[in-house]
């Protein structure tokens, strides 16, 4: 099972439920990287565009590379009207970019799917001197807002979460800070806060966009998602996520 490809089986659900990033993060990123017209930007694995439009609207020369065919079609349908938008349906790991060089390369919960030695070495080679590598990820906490609901959900996981292959068994750990081991400098992390509130049905649908949740076999799968919904229904049909949007930044040296 190549978990990198599994999201392509649920493009509509993925588009509706995957988290977006806050305006403050994009303002910070765009100012840091100096993105605007005449700047060339590459987005790695945009999915259905959770982090695309604010960058597109700067007027930059935008290119995305997306592994999933269905996700690529969704991206084209949503953003093909932008004159500065282009996308290629291919694997970043093996794609030949020719002589292309970029002012910024960024990913939203994507680069960690690529082995570090490829992710950092290839992005470094594709960036112009002084160019920016930006990596975003959402960390979510639903324990702090409601400890009892969190414990109830852990019981559901303990009973019926039986994926055919767990995520941790498919992908080695990825450390954003290792960018400096491949020539990047000025590594830093910026954090921004957000919140999401789901009903029981929404929470189950969102949980169904996690790669290892999609490969739970029956009868566990039905019991698992019904268990999640029931837990939230018993909590007033409401679950709150306190989100932290992490933005990791690094530069290619001017003389690189």
Per-residue pLDDT tens over the stretch 57-78: 999 999 999 999 999 999 999 9
pLDDT confidence of residue 25: 98
Residue ranges making up the domain that contains 52? 3-251
In the predicted model, what is the mean pLDDT of residues 105-129? 96
As a dihedral over the C-alpha atoms of residue 118, residue 63, residue 205, residue 192, rounded to 10 degrees, the angle is 80
CA neighbor of 112 nearest in space, from 52, 64, 176, 169: 176
Residue 53 lies in a domain: yes
pLDDT confidence of residue 3: 65
Q: Is the pLDDT of residue 99 over 80?
A: yes
Q: Is the pLDDT of residue 107 over 80?
A: yes
Report pLDDT digits (tens) over 144-156: 999 999 999 999 9
CA distance 237 to 250: 42
Residue 35 lies in a domain: yes
Q: Report the number of distinct structural domains present in the chain.
A: 1
Report pLDDT digits (tens) over 150-194: 999 999 999 999 988 766 656 678 999 999 999 999 999 999 999
Residue 209 lies in a domain: yes
Instruction: Give 85's strand partners.
Output: 62
DSSP the chain: --HHHHGGG-HHHHHHHS----HHHHHHHHHHHT-STT-EEEEE--TTTTTTHHHHTTT-EEEEEES-HHHHHHHHHHHTTSTTEEEEES-TTT---TT--EEEEEEES-GGGS-HHHHHHHHHHHEEEEEEEEEEEEEEE-STT-HHHHHHHHHHHHHH---SS-HHHHS----GGGGGGGT-EEEEEEEEEEEEEE-HHHHHHHHTTSGGGTTPPTTHHHHHHHHHHHHHHTTTS-EEEEEEEEEEEEE--TT-
Q: Is the pLDDT of residue 1 over 90?
A: no
Residue 27 lies in a domain: yes
Q: Is the pLDDT of residue 213 over 70?
A: yes
CATH classification at residue 77: 3.40.50.150
Residue 256 lies in a domain: no
pLDDT confidence of residue 66: 97
Q: Whole-number mean pLDDT of the chain?
A: 95
Residue 177 lies in a domain: yes
pLDDT confidence of residue 255: 81
Q: Is the pLDDT of residue 31 over 80?
A: yes
pTM: 0.94
Residue 61 lies in a domain: yes
pLDDT confidence of residue 211: 84
């Amino acid at each position: 099972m190549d978990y990198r490809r599994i999201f392509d089986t649920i493009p509509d659900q993925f588009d509706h439920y995957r988290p977006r990033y806050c305006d403050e993060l994009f303002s910070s990123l765009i100012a840091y990287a100096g993105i605007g017209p005449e700047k060339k930007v590459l987005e790695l694995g945009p999915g259905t565009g959770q982090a695309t439009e604010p960058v597109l609207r700067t007027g930059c020369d935008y290119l995305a590379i997306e592994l999933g065919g269905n996700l690529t079609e969704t991206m084209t349908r949503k953003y093909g009207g932008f004159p500065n938008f282009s996308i290629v349906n291919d694997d970043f790991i093996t794609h030949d970019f020719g002589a292309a060089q970029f002012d910024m390369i960024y990913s939203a919960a994507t680069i960690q799917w690529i082995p570090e030695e490829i992710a950092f070495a290839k992005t470094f080679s594709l960036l112009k001197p002084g160019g920016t590598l930006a990596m975003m990820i959402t960390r979510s906490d639903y324990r702090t807002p409601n400890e009892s609901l969190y414990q109830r959900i852990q019981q559901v996981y303990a009973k019926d979460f039986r994926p055919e292959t767990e995520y941790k068994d498919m992908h080695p750990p990825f450390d954003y800070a290792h960018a400096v081991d491949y020539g990047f400098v000025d590594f830093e992390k910026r954090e921004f806060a957000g919140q999401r509130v789901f009903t029981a049905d929404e929470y189950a649908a969102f949980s169904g966009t996690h790669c290892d949740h999609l490969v739970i076999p029956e009868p566990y799968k039905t019991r698992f998602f019904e268990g999640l919904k029931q837990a939230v229904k018993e909590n007033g049909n409401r679950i709150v996520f306190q989100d932290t949007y992490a933005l990791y930044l690094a530069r290619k040296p001017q003389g690189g």
